[in-house]
Structure 1
């Protein structure tokens, strides 16, 4: 309403007059000047003032409380009540109980709107789920729906956040997710579910697959998708065990500085002596999250000289990192930088990333193979440790992730062929993996052809394409691929629509 009022104001004086009317709660017309313009403005202002809806105002209040995460008791605060009385005296300020009811009505209204959208959405809905434990040790489950609209816009909505009773076994969690799916009537539109790589979640996916098998693509063969970011977390954490001593001492040094205001001031004083950036702060990591450990090491290494000087200035700083610890920290950071960048790619939410996963995971594989031959013993041991766990997950997910690359018209099968040949050479193993991808792709194509036929309407789509953020390392790995592309011969298209697509010249 404020924006509409301001658009009708033709001077600061009129603004002041209208503000006075609003404060007094009067709908009297403002004294007009002797011009037609003033009469028109008067009529517009009167119409705006009289266009008041108690129901809409209560709905707006409920939305404000929801969006700002305000407590229901806000409406009982004297300052809020005074503000409303001065702004709109005739508005009936509701109680916190009524406000709670209004918020629930808003939720139900939005749920119906989203249900209607799901019904008209021609695509499949993919789910992601995660569990949290509150400070009261209660377990909560968050279920998010991801889908593409008819105009090819990527969307996501949290469709459930609920308390899950203990014990949090796979059966209990699967029941909670199944009930949510049924309450939203989306069981016939399920595409996949992505879960953290935990044994309980394997049970969750298996139980959901059994329950909704007839509505899933290919009987749910590819229904369960393991979270790539979580798998990457497990792989890197295995590698960090090799250098946990150096990491522990650097972490303790950071804690030592952060745990005392006096020590922090002494530290910042040395920072000024070195004429370094005094605004930058060192963060303490969360040991269970390797990326936070990487960021902590990266920041601490920048202040390495300050820590070394602090040893001489603070006699109590007797467990400081050694020169060897700092050297290992630098090596670790250089090694993990690529993993950090790839995690950021996996964590994108604004753009589709299905076409990026295979390439990024292949890049990790190539890096591990390369570093497992490193002359540095620490890097070599880390790479070997990580490669062992990587191989386990790569075999499980490589083929389905490859389908996303094939559907990228810039690459089609070319990138798949190149990647498998760089891993396995030109022998039978590479041919087997490539043919397996073709088989999976053909199976999906045949299934969709049965379900939807070939009558697909064309719509204008957003031309933005997700790309990797790998920097120099990516360019190094992609140089060989570009050379490979130049040597690819385009064959004559065959009768199959899928094969025609695959054999057309790609969009690179």
Structure 2
């Protein structure tokens, strides 16, 4: 009897310690996952506030050391994630990649590759595959070799149907070297169009420079910032800070102008009270700024539209490029006519033959919101229709003669257009 009782006690102790050990391992796993998801440093486990928090949650729990996390737990988490992604990519038949070269604050060159694909449930997935340092010179051959190493590692080299990059000649040549279809990033193309146009019109460039000086003054002077806040409250104006232009993002110039227009009265009053009349902007210049903002408003709307990362945007590029050209051309503002003309000239060059690019034209025609009405030339729409018919026939291993008749496709391709209040889609609605 005593032996049985002793065995029963030992069994309970074993179960207790086993459950306790499993619970601690589960907490360790959740802790490391939290650090990875929230991008927290491993040193957080040494912070007194975090340790006090853990004591409240579970006084018996002792978190792993920073060294254990960095040496054992995080590498294990990375291996599990990569194995899961490898398995997922094995099931993918087609994918696309986006890639970009960038320089760190330590002036070291890196390249990042992101893969985009659809799951069996038609869910769009975007995953960063690698960020690696390029130690050699950024020639097309070196970039191509680095990209190929990454795609080979993930077994997607032969699955890539398109690679999207910026317009830099070396990375474009690298994509061509690897024999992948290439598309220039539409957002980057817009950035070049607007940024270069703003700089090529002297009066606009000078006005932007003056606005930058104003914003810089307020950002560097706590006295000026405090005074501006006081004036805003007195004038019952929204307490918004001025926005500084970022050289690599054209829309920052737009937001800078927009904010200065909003804060015109408060900013002018503050500058006068601080004896900085040299920085004030006249009423005539404010009116010119309003015209610039009005002309650039569609470009800002398109930049936001195309930058959404939760939806496929390839089918929008042709209709959006047409909308920008139409809206810019229809503008009646004469104050900055040179800016308008410059924008149109650059768009005409960048968007030339865009409807002949099947990587853009085919998804546009297949998008139920656009179909044929998105094309400026119905002849181009007819060519895309025939291209799609041939692709379907090839995929079904049929002869062109057995494929869907073009008149039947014509019935399918009916007018359909999105609705929104930005004015971008008006040309589709009024088609």
Cα distance change on mapping 1:467 and 1:205 into 2, 3 Å: farther
- 1:252 maps to 213
What is the alpha-carbon distance in structure 2 between the residues aligned to residue 166 and residue 469 of structure 1?
Answer: 49
Q: Closer, same or farther in 2 for the Cα pair 1:28/1:76, shift >3 Å?
A: farther
Q: Paired residue for 2:347?
A: 390
Question: Aligned-pair distance for 1:450?
Answer: 4.4
Deviation, structure 1 residue 186: 1.3
**Alpha-carbon offset, residue 383 of structure 1:** 2.2
The Cα shift of 1:301 comes to 0.2
- Cα pair distance change 1:82/1:239, threshold 3 Å: closer
Question: Is 1:271 equivalent to 2:228 in the alignment?
Answer: no
TM-score by length of 1: 0.71
- Is 1:233–2:180 an aligned residue pair? no
Indicate conservation of the 8 Å contact 2:288/2:335, yes or no: no
1:125 aligned to which of 78, 95, 107: 95
Offset of residue 323 of structure 1: 2.6
Instruction: Give how far 1:226 is off.
Output: 0.7
Query: Conserved in 2, the CA contact under 8 Å of 1:233 and 1:290?
Result: yes
Q: Is 1:224 aligned with 2:182? A: yes
Task: From the superposition, tell whether residues 166 and 101 of structure 1 become closer, same or farther in structure 2 (CA, over 3 Å).
Answer: farther
1:71 to 1:414, Cα distance in 2 relative to 1, 3 A: closer
Distance 1:48 1:396 in 2: 68
Structure 2 counterparts to residues 329-344 of structure 1, below 5 A: 329-344=289-304
1:344-493 equivalent positions in 2, closer than 5 A = 344-371=304-331, 374=332, 376-378=334-336, 380-399=337-356, 400=358, 401-416=360-375, 419-420=376-377, 431=379, 433-450=380-397, 471-474=421-424, 476-481=426-431
- Is the alpha carbon distance of 1:468 and 1:393 closer, same or farther for their aligned partners in structure 2, counting shifts above 3 Å? farther
Aligned length: 398
CA contact (8 A) 2:98 2:114 kept: yes
Cα deviations by residue, 1:310-367 (Å, 9 ceiling, x for unpaired): 3432223413223332122111111111111111110111222233222111101212
- Unmatched 5+ residue regions in structure 2? 1-10, 403-415
C-alpha deviation, 1:268, in angstroms: 2.0
1:102 paired residue number = 73
Alignment check: 8 A CA contact 2:112 2:130 kept: yes
- Residues 197 and 443 (structure 1), Cα distance of their counterparts in 2 relative to 1, 3 Å cut: farther
State the match for 1:460 in structure 2: none
- Could you tell me whether the CA contact under 8 Å between 1:76 and 1:96 is conserved in 2? no
TM-score normalised to the size of structure 2?
0.82
How far, CA to CA, are the matches of 1:439 and 1:171 in structure 2? 36
CA distance in 2, matches of 1:370, 1:277: 33
CA separation in 2, counterparts of 1:226 and 1:358? 13
Task: Give 1:73-88 correspondences, 5 Å limit.
Answer: 73-76=43-46, 87=58
